[in-house]
Amino acid sequence: MKRLKIKEVLTGGQVGQQVLVKGWVRTKRGSKNVNFIALNDGSTINNLQVVADVEKFGEELLHNINTSAALGITGELVESMGSGQALELVASEITIYGKSDPEKYPIQPKKHSLEFLRENAHLRFRTATFSAVFRIRHAMAFAIHKYFNDKGFYYLHTPIITASDAEGAGQMFRVSTLPAVEPPLNEEGEIDYTQDFFGRPTNLTVSGQLEGELGATALGEVYTFGPTFRAENSNTTRHLAEFWMIEPEMAFYELKDNMDLAEDFLKYLIRYALDNCMDDLKFLSNRLQQEEKNKPQDQRSMELIEKLQFVLENDFIRCTYTEAIDILRNSKPFKKGKFQYPVEWGIDLQSEHERYLVEKHFKKPVILIDYPKDIKAFYMKQNDDGKTVAAMDVLFPQIGEIIGGSERESDYDKLVKRMEEMDVPTDEMWWYLDTRRFGTVPHAGFGLGFERFILFATGMGNIRDVIAFPRTPKNAEF
């Protein structure tokens, strides 16, 4: 008999149908005559209730059916006598693929803290919460490729190992095959990288953007979607040492086109989640509602699905940096001295400022543009005012900066001058500058932190809970 996924059984199964299902036991409830097994195979958040007659299968077999044991079950679908489900499976044959010792299996049929499950990240997929998160994560990854493919973008694979450290996006992880103890030294007493694998210092990438620009200025519209590495000692709920980033880069796009794309893209993903992941979203939403009950009234946040719909239905606010500074300086917290950090033109906005703008003032996602050039990267297009650059940051409630992007400086002379001002080595970047020497065009792009977006889409609070195997300072288990 062909095995059916539990999702297929629950959505399309007919009473009287003979089926074969395979999966893992979520819970078993025993009694004298009959056992109830909640079986889950990962295809859906919902379990299939299996009814096993004690006399038919015997105590010994049923004794080995514990939480997380792997089973194959053949039987007939019947209308359920219980109230929790419409259909259930009356077992006629049970195969135990793998037992699960209940005294040793760490995940119990009870609520666990996310911290505990993080320490058992190898098994947390077997919980309802994490299976939901990772199904949604998959759906979002798929939707990202679909979105760009449908729009005629090409998926460009930029390198993981790079010799460029010019972007200054953060501390990098060194890639080397030289011995860690007593590496070869040159005449100056420094490590001799000419003897290293690549004959020069190399690192794990912090961004595929610069290479993305090379692709965009020939293929037109490209995007990258790959792992990115930052060796920053960041210990927060929003940072990982290894995370995934989506970086579209488009020729002939100016800042406004870039903003339009970013907003349309985010809304597409949210719509895709609402259309395709509703069971999982409902589960996560209920879970969050339970947690919210323990919080004081004023700290409660909007219900998850409502929040997703809200973002979908409202235009993002577009606001210049200069306007944002005015708003902040006229705000109550500023006048009452509640902000910890100063607010004046030229400073980089702090979390507290961004949160005020997004959560208190506009109460919608905000795209901030035209930042002072001194707080942004060298490659951003310099505006005519001589003070600002065509940068854009998309700010989301709770998460903060979810997208950072800009129109790029396409003028060779302006770019070189800016690089020199900011001590970016122009000689090492000859290949990048060639895009401006040969057929340069206005172009723009942005980077979306995949995990930060998944935080928003799932309502989870810690970035370590939306990536399967989180890499953070002092933690590379599994």
| Footprint of RNA on 328-347 (CB under 7 A) | 341
Question: What residues numbered 449-478 form the site for RNA, per CB under 7 A?
Answer: 449, 451-452, 461-464, 472-475
Cβ-based neighbours of 361, under 8 Å, separated by 6 or more? 327, 331
Q: How far is the CB of 222 from RNA (least distance, A)?
A: 18
Closer residue to RNA in complex, CB, 229/253: 229
Cβ-based neighbours of 305, under 8 Å, separated by 6 or more? 274, 281, 282, 285
Question: What residues numbered 64-83 form the site for RNA, per CB under 7 A?
Answer: 66-67, 78, 80-83
Write each residue from 18 to 57 as x if it is in contact with RNA (CB under 7 A), else as -, in one continuous string. Answer: ---------x-xxxxxx-x-x----------x-x------
* Residues 327 and 361 sit within 8 Å (Cβ to Cβ): yes
Closer residue to RNA in complex, CB, 352/434: 352
Backbone angles phi and psi of 364, in degrees to 5: -150, 165
Does position 420 interact with RNA (CB under 7 A)? The reply is no
Does position 351 interact with RNA (CB under 7 A)? The reply is yes
By CB under 7 A, name the one of 70, 387, 404, 417 that touches RNA. 404
Among candidates 149, 138, 141, which has minimal Cα distance to 226? 141
**Count of residues near RNA by CB under 7 A:** 75
Closer residue to RNA in complex, CB, 168/220: 168
Does position 234 interact with RNA (CB under 7 A)? The reply is yes
Beta strand residue intervals within 110-241, DSSP E: 154-155, 161-162, 174-175, 202-204, 221-229
| CA distance linking residue 141 with residue 225, whole number of Å | 9
How far is residue 100 CA from its own chain's centroid? Answer: 32
Closer residue to RNA in complex, CB, 333/404: 404
| CA distance linking residue 468 with residue 446, whole number of Å | 25
Q: How far is the CB of 245 from RNA (least distance, A)?
A: 6
* Residues 339 and 386 sit within 8 Å (Cβ to Cβ): no
Question: What residues numbered 117-156 form the site for RNA, per CB under 7 A?
Answer: 118
Q: How far is the CB of 375 from RNA (least distance, A)?
A: 7
Q: What is the DSSP letter of 39?
A: E
Sheet holding 202-204, edge to edge: 161-162, 202-204, 174-175
Q: How far is the CB of 313 from RNA (least distance, A)?
A: 23
Q: How far is the CB of 177 from RNA (least distance, A)?
A: 26
* Residues 425 and 384 sit within 8 Å (Cβ to Cβ): no
Closer residue to RNA in complex, CB, 11/233: 233
Closer residue to RNA in complex, CB, 82/179: 82
Write each residue from 101 to 120 as x if it is in contact with RNA (CB under 7 A), else as -, in one continuous string. Answer: -xx--x-xxxxxx-xx-x--
| Tokens standing for residue 43 | 């295809």
Q: How far is the CB of 268 from RNA (least distance, A)?
A: 17
Closer residue to RNA in complex, CB, 194/351: 351
Phi-psi region for residue 189, left (φ > 0), alpha (ψ -120 to 50) or beta? Answer: left
Question: What residues numbered 373-402 form the site for RNA, per CB under 7 A?
Answer: 400-402
Q: How far is the CB of 451 from RNA (least distance, A)?
A: 5
Question: What residues numbered 254-283 form the site for RNA, per CB under 7 A?
Answer: none
Closer residue to RNA in complex, CB, 319/466: 466
By CB under 7 A, name the one of 4, 133, 175, 245 that touches RNA. 245
Dihedral Cα 185, 190, 194, 195, nearest 10 deg: 30
Alpha helices in 317-408, H assignment, sequence order: 321-329, 332-335, 351-355
Closer residue to RNA in complex, CB, 34/327: 34
By CB under 7 A, name the one of 46, 85, 92, 276 that touches RNA. 85
Question: What residues numbered 159-188 form the site for RNA, per CB under 7 A?
Answer: 169-170
By CB under 7 A, name the one of 135, 137, 238, 373 that touches RNA. 238
Q: How far is the CB of 364 from RNA (least distance, A)?
A: 18
Q: How far is the CB of 185 from RNA (least distance, A)?
A: 27
The DSSP result for 311-325, as a single string, is HHHSPPEEEEHHHHH
By CB under 7 A, name the one of 243, 265, 321, 379 that touches RNA. 243
Q: How distant, in Å, are the alpha carbons of 59, 169, 297, 349 from that of 346? A: 74, 20, 36, 9
Closer residue to RNA in complex, CB, 31/177: 31
Q: How far is the CB of 383 from RNA (least distance, A)?
A: 19
Determine the angle formed by the axes of helices 430-437 and 412-421, rounding to 10 degrees.
150
Closer residue to RNA in complex, CB, 361/434: 361
* Residues 232 and 239 sit within 8 Å (Cβ to Cβ): yes
| CA distance linking residue 320 with residue 328, whole number of Å | 12
Beta-sheet pairing, 161-162 with 443-449: unpaired
Which region, judged by CB under 7 A, interacts with RNA, from 10-18, 154-162, 239-247, 276-284? 239-247
Q: How distant, in Å, are the alpha carbons of 70, 78, 202, 316 from that of 25? A: 7, 20, 47, 45
